[in-house]
Amino acid sequence: MAQHETDVVIVGAGLAGLAAATHLHRAGVPCAVLEADDDVGGRVRTDVVDGFRLDRGFQILNPAYPAVRRLVDVDALRLGRYWRAVRVADDDHVSLLGQPLDVPRALRDIAARRYLSAKDLAALAALSARVAAGPAKAIVDREDRTTLDELRHAGLSERAVRTVFRPFLSGVFLEAELSTSARFFQLVWRSFLRSAPSLPALGMGELPRQLARRLPTTAVHLDTPVEEVRPGAVRTAGGDVWRARAVLVATDGSTAARLAGTPEPRWNSGTTWYFAPPRSPLPEPVIVVDARGGPIVTTSVVSEVCPTYAPSDRALVSASALTSLPDAEVRRALGRLYRTDAAGWPLLGRYEIARGLPSMPPPHDIRRDVRLDDGLYVCGDHRDTSSLQGALASGARAARAVLREVGARV
């Protein structure tokens, strides 16, 4: 059993822990990051399989997130961008709905009013203007309700919600009832209005790796699970003890509940499949949703968004559902959505994510306290919003709180 001393110990090298470590390092405060897994990133990881890049679950990066702009060198990620649009498919029609300034051809399908009536378009424009105007704090301070109630309150029809918004947002929230906080929906919608969702050329796992590279090489300790935390001390599974002026628990919500006694969140779960068809079934960087409300909530040809996700002579298709399904059923659904025969598509990977996102029913407190006790702090998307922005912002808030206690200044 070894004894270690440092100023701050951070438990967890996910985005929240790495964001906190980055702020502390910038302030000149030594810290040690203890990570149970074999690499940084937490739930934001990318596997390389036969030359394909497979993110662990449906994940996208929005460059408009404020914490991303503050912490990340976005240009270095070499982003591929989705269209700010969705392709809506049913048994008879396929429509492209989105921002005509980005995708001019969407204007024809919008004008056809197959899924969105003139009243829906006016209601959506008013909602978007209200969300985009003013500071984000105005959204945080608004009375909260469910996303479904927010869409109805905005004047969107049941048909628009059923065929467009419910399928698309189910993939974002990992829940089908749209019971997620309207505050979070508005913040996400605000980011979509400002920037296109994107993917790093080397996969979503490049985001935490970029943050980790800014830290001293001795700061991050992989394969180091933690068994016990208390103010000023951490004990690892191997019996080592780390003593520090402050301890920051930056794990997922369930692990934080075990280590620090915080309330454990309820989880929204999902499953993502990756297939390698011989050629792209849709030459568009766009998310496809099922207007019928089928088992697949979102799918896209990822190699059209980022060609580096697949070898030059192959395509990569992702598909996500809220539950686990037989592979054959997923292929049938994809064949219908892409109007092709997907029965022979090779399966590259399947990720069943039981702890996908902490659920956020209203009223959702977006700025939960990060200080638990003298010398003990907690951060993560379960203390903010269930998003990359929430994890990064919570880590930054916790770092500032730690700095106030240890007497340093940013």
Residue of 375, 392, 284, 410 lying closest to 337 (CA atoms):
284
Domain ranges of the chain: 3-44+205-265+363-406, 52-200+268-358
- DSSP annotation string for 165-210: IHHHHHHHHT-SS--SBHHHHHHHHHHHHHS--EE-TT-TTHHHHH
Per the structure block, which two tokens stand in for 203? 């996969």
Under CATH, to which class is 52-200+268-358 assigned?
Answer: alpha beta
Question: In the block, which residue shows the tokens 């699970």?
Answer: 225
Residue 38 burial (CB count, 10 A)? 8
d(CA 387, CA 370): 17
Query: In sequence order, which residues have a C-beta less than 8 Å from that of residue 257 and are 6 or more positions away?
Result: 263, 264
Domain 3-44+205-265+363-406 CATH (choose: 3.40.50.300, 3.40.50.720, 3.50.50.60, 3.30.360.10): 3.50.50.60
Which pTM value belongs to this model? 0.95
Print pLDDT tens along the chain (410 aa). Answer: 799 999 999 999 999 999 999 999 999 999 999 999 999 999 999 999 999 999 999 999 999 999 999 999 999 999 999 999 999 999 888 899 988 877 888 888 888 888 999 999 999 999 999 999 888 888 988 899 999 999 999 999 999 999 999 999 999 999 999 999 999 999 999 999 999 999 999 999 999 999 999 999 999 999 999 999 999 999 999 999 999 999 999 999 999 999 999 999 999 999 999 999 999 999 999 999 999 989 999 999 999 999 999 999 999 999 999 999 999 999 999 999 999 999 999 999 999 999 999 999 999 998 899 999 999 999 999 999 999 999 999 999 999 999 998 865 44
Range 284-298 burial, b when 16+ CB lie within 10 A, else e: bbbbbbbbeebbbbb
The gap from C-alpha 217 to its chain's centroid, in whole angstroms, comes to 27
**φ, ψ of residue 165 in degrees (nearest 5):** -75, -40
d(CA 356, CA 205): 16
Residue 345 burial (CB count, 10 A)? 23
